[in-house]
């Protein structure tokens, strides 16, 4: 069942909540129910279509919650029907003293009758010189 999000920021907050809890059902309520959705994970996997995106998150969440995510340096662009968010993600794994390498994330949200939903997510590992504590313009 799709959830209503009044703004792209509301959908994004729900995305990170579902990600940290490793909750695939909550995660999929954020995605547009569309065969055109695309999710590209930092490891290089590309999932196209709602079922494939769901399966990719099920694989990632199969071991349960793994990390907390701090997201910084957001760049937002919003129109009437589409919004684009780009930000840096810093993952912290409990029990590990060193954080993982930062990830660059781009999200595209689409507005429909049920509010704003995620249409596309593309992530890649950031270059080693990117510091999430002193964010700067990447491109």
Rounded to 10 degrees, the C-alpha dihedral 40/41/45/48 comes to -30
Instruction: State the Cα–Cα distance between residues 74 and 71, nearest whole angstrom.
Output: 8
Tell me: pLDDT of 31 over 90: yes
Tell me: pLDDT of 138 over 50: no
| pLDDT confidence of residue 105 | 97
Every domain of the chain and the residues it spans: 8-125
Q: When comparing pLDDT for 98 and 71, which is higher?
A: 71
Tens of pLDDT, residue by residue over 62-80, are: 988 878 999 898 999 999 9
Tens of pLDDT, residue by residue over 10-30, are: 999 999 999 999 999 999 999
For domain 8-125, the CATH class is: alpha beta
| pLDDT confidence of residue 139 | 44
State phi, psi for 8 to the nearest 5 degrees: -60, -30
């Amino acid at each position: 069942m799709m959830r209503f999000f009044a703004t792209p920021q509301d959908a994004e907050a729900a995305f990170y909540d579902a990600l940290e809890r490793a909750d695939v059902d909550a995660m999929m309520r954020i995605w547009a129910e569309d065969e055109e959705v695309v999710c590209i994970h930092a490891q290089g996997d590309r999932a196209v279509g709602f079922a494939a995106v769901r399966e990719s998150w099920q694989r990632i969440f199969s071991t349960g919650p793994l990390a907390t995510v701090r997201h910084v340096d957001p760049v937002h662009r919003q129109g009437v029907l589409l919004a684009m968010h780009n930000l840096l993600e810093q993952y912290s794994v409990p029990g590990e003293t060193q954080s993982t390498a930062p990830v660059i994330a781009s999200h595209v949200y689409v507005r429909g009758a049920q509010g704003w939903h995620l249409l596309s997510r593309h992530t890649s590992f950031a270059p080693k010189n990117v510091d999430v504590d002193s964010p700067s313009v990447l491109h």
